Amino acid sequence: MKLAKLSLAAMVVAGLASSSFAADTLADAFKQGSVTGELKAYYFSHDDDSMDRADIFSTGIMLGYKTASFYGFSLGLTAQGSASPFADSDGKAYYNGDMYGSGAVLSESYLAYSAGKTTAMVGRMFLDTPLVSGSGSRIIKEAFEGAAIINTDLPNTTLIAGYVQKFQSRTDRDGNVGKFTRKSVTTNSSVNVDINDGVYTFAAINKSIPGLTLTGAYAYAEAFDTIDVNIAYVEALYEGKAGEIGYTLGVQDYYNAFDNAGTPDDTINLYAVKAGLSFKGINGTVAFSQVSDDAVVGNAIASGLGNGADLLYTDPVIAMNGYNRDTKSYLIDLNYDITAAANIGARYVLAEMGTGIDKDVSSTAVYGTYKFDAALKGFSLGAQYEKQGQDGDGDDVWVKANYKF
pLDDT digits (tens, 9 = 90+) for 250-295: 999 999 998 875 566 789 999 999 999 999 999 999 999 999 999 8
The DSSP 8-state label assigned to residue 28 in this structure reads H
- C-alpha 144/C-alpha 8 separation (Å) is 12
Confidence of residue 59 (pLDDT cuts 50, 70, 90): very high
Maximum CA extent, the chain: 66
pLDDT interval class at 2 (50, 70, 90): very low
More confident residue, 30 or 10: 30
Confidence of residue 20 (pLDDT cuts 50, 70, 90): very low
| Integer Rg of the chain from CA | 21
Rounded distance, CA 169 to CA 307, Å? 9
Range with the lowest mean pLDDT among 8-12, 93-97, 159-163?
8-12
Residue 312 CA to residue 317 CA, distance in Å, equals 12
Fill in the DSSP letter of residue 93. Answer: H
pLDDT at 392: 59
pLDDT for the residue numbered 277? 98
pLDDT at position 224 is 59
Asked if 88 and 53 touch (Cβ cutoff 8 Å), the reply is: no
β-strands 118-125, 180-181 pairing = unpaired
Q: 10 Å Cβ neighbour count for 113?
A: 16
Return the percent helix, strand and coil in the chain, to nearest 5.
Answer: 10, 60, 35
Average pLDDT in the 105-128 region?
97
DSSP-assigned letter for residue 20? G
Question: Residue 405 and residue 396: Cα distance in Å, rounded?
Answer: 29
For residue 4, name the pLDDT band (cuts at 50, 70, 90): very low
Q: How far apart are CA 247 and CA 264, in angstroms?
A: 43
Band (pLDDT 50/70/90 cuts) for residue 8 is low
- With CA atoms as reference, report the closest residue to 251 among 232, 268, 236: 236
Query: For residue 223, what pLDDT band results from cuts at 50, 70 and 90?
Result: low
Is pLDDT of 225 > 80? no
Give the residue-averaged pLDDT of 184-207.
Answer: 77
**pLDDT tens string 133-165:** 999 999 999 999 999 999 999 999 999 999 999
Confirm if 162 and 121 have CB atoms less than 8 A apart.
no
Contacts of 68 (CB under 8 A, 6+ apart): 18, 21, 22, 23, 28, 29, 30, 32, 33, 34, 74
CA distances from 382 to 43, 91, 284, 369, 372 (A): 11, 21, 20, 4, 11
- Please give the average per-residue pLDDT across 22-38, as a whole number: 95
* 4 Ramachandran zone, left/alpha/beta (phi>0; psi -120 to 50): alpha
Provide the percentage of residues in the chain whose pLDDT is more than 90: 77
Question: pLDDT confidence of 192, banded at 50, 70, 90?
Answer: low
pLDDT surpasses 70 at 184: no
